[in-house]
Structure 1
Amino acid sequence: MPKNHSLDIPLIQAVTLDLDDTLWPVWPAIERAEAVLHEFLQQHAPATAQLFGDAKALRLIRNQVGEEMPELQHDLSELRRESIRRALRQAGDDPTLAEAGFDLFFAERQRVDFYADAIDSLERMAARWPLVALSNGNADIHTVGIGHLFKAKIGAREFGRAKPDAHIFHAAAALAEVPSQTVLHVGDDAALDIVGALGAGMQAAWVNRTGHAWALGQPPHIEVTELGTLCEALGC
């Protein structure tokens, strides 16, 4: 059963949706992409493949790049590209291979496995309201096959600011051509999605698939364990 705290359904004129871990689990896609990248390094940069022989080592250097270059925190593609470049350089391999390595990683990262409830729920919501994808990640809604269901997409990379910054939520509402207070934002991350949406004056739906307790002050307007339940609560 959904936890409906204060949802005002008649007020809703558009819906914004997070992507990773809301419509699909992100880590299986990332792990496949990391495996493809490692295969590429084994073939073209064996010293790098040996020095950074597992995903944990590559993630560590990615985190280091993020700490040293905070200006890339909103651009996960460039952050990943720069981490590959740095790994190549540290191992003594050709750093220009980073572009080809990233391209393979990025293509595999777009191969996502949707949650069982995602596509039907998107179709039901899209039939009633304009949908805008709102993501800090770098998944492409057209490449993964759902672009036709969305009016628009806004990402932290393109916008230059990431959730929970209120500006990116307001920009998403502008793309939907409705006032921010008439938007329902749907997402899985309590801090980035829910606190961010509430701070931007939107209604917020928390897709809490993992059963975590809410611990961040003002609660979401509605809490559900999957998108089908949300659609039922919305009457779509």
Structure 2
Amino acid sequence: MPLHFYKQIETPIKAISFDLDDTLYVNDEVIRQAERAQFDVLSQYLPSVQEAGITPWLSLKWQVLNENPSLKHDVTEWRRAVIAHGLKAHTQDKELTNRLVDEAFSAFYQARSNFSIEPSVFAVLKQLSSRYPLVAITNGNVDIHRLGLTPYFVSYYRAGENGLRMKPYPDMLKAACRELDIKESELLHIGDNLLTDIKGAQNTGSPHLWFNPEHVELTGKASLPTGEYSDLEELLQLL
């Protein structure tokens, strides 16, 4: 489906905010590779980690969050806590644990941003940024500098920094509006996730476009976004 609007945008758009993961690039395989890089570092130091396999580490995430709900809004601290918690089954050496948390997270973080964005994405962002200030807003922790995205965005907001909560909380979108000195209704938010991006924009009072590459059909007017698109180049219709 080409860019399609379900609801009229009442206020002229003055800026656009973009989600990153799974909106500008496919993220699932990137995270799997980063998880493997983290596991490989731990396995090099502790044979018992290799013997137990990677699966126990993948299931620790929600256990750690249940024990420490405050970690929810900062995926970096959340991951570091998961690594520290998982190491308890393999070593009681606190100095080694602290060092491995740093090294394993570093391996994850490096691999997490070790991919290339399609040239067509840069081309669209370049054209959009010639008319609108663009803002990057993410619940994740990808390194936008390594990805080459910084030339297109006037600012970047990551959940967990300066106490900003994850979408669907409105914190990051509202912070972007304050920085740009615009009303929430003048910011168009674009993202793939109905819960975090679309609900987050609704909580902020901002119009929003849902990236729907799988052409999922929505039922019920209450759940409809402002609009949707299935290919990034369709956003050039906003020019």
Q: State whether TM-score is above 0.5.
A: yes
Match status 1:89 vs 2:75: no
Moved over 6 A (4+): none
Counterparts of 2:68 and 2:137, CA distance in 1 = 23
The CA deviation string for residues 66-102 of structure 1, in whole angstroms up to 9 with x for no partner, is: 1211100111011111111111121226312111110
Residue 150 (structure 2) pairs with residue 147 (structure 1): yes
2:203 maps to 1:199: yes
- Cross-structure match for 1:30: 31
Secondary structure of 2:59's partner?
helix
Aligned length: 232
Alpha-carbon distance in structure 2 between the residues aligned to 1:165 and 1:37: 30
Q: Does the residue aligned with 1:91 lie in a helix, a strand or coil?
A: coil
What residue is the counterpart of 1:104 in the other structure?
Answer: 107
Matched ranges for 1:53-92 at <5 A: 53-54=53-54, 56-92=55-91
User: Does structure 1 conserve the Cα–Cα contact (< 8 Å) formed by 2:169 and 2:200?
Assistant: yes
Letter aligned with residue 227 of structure 1: L
Report deviation, 1:115: 5.0
SS in 1 for 2:200: helix
Match of 1:133 among 91, 114, 136: 136
Q: Are 1:221 and 2:226 counterparts?
A: yes
Structure 2: runs of 5 or more not aligned: none
**1:7–1:203: 8 Å Cα contact kept in structure 2?**
no
CA shift for structure 1 position 57: 2.2
SS in structure 2 of the partner of residue 6 of structure 1: coil
Q: Which residue of 2 aligns with 1:184?
A: 188
CA RMSD of aligned residues (A): 1.8
Report the AA paired with residue 221 of structure 1. Answer: T
Q: Name the residue aligned to 1:20.
A: 21
Deviations 1:4-26 (A, max 9, x none): 12343971100011000001111
Q: How many Å apart are 1:126 and its aligned residue? A: 0.9
SS of 1:213 mapped into structure 2: coil
Question: Any idea what SS the aligned residue of 2:132 has?
Answer: coil
Percent pairwise identity = 30
C-alpha deviation, 1:33, in angstroms: 0.9
Q: SS at 2:97's partner residue?
A: coil
Deviation at 1:142, TM superposition (A): 1.3
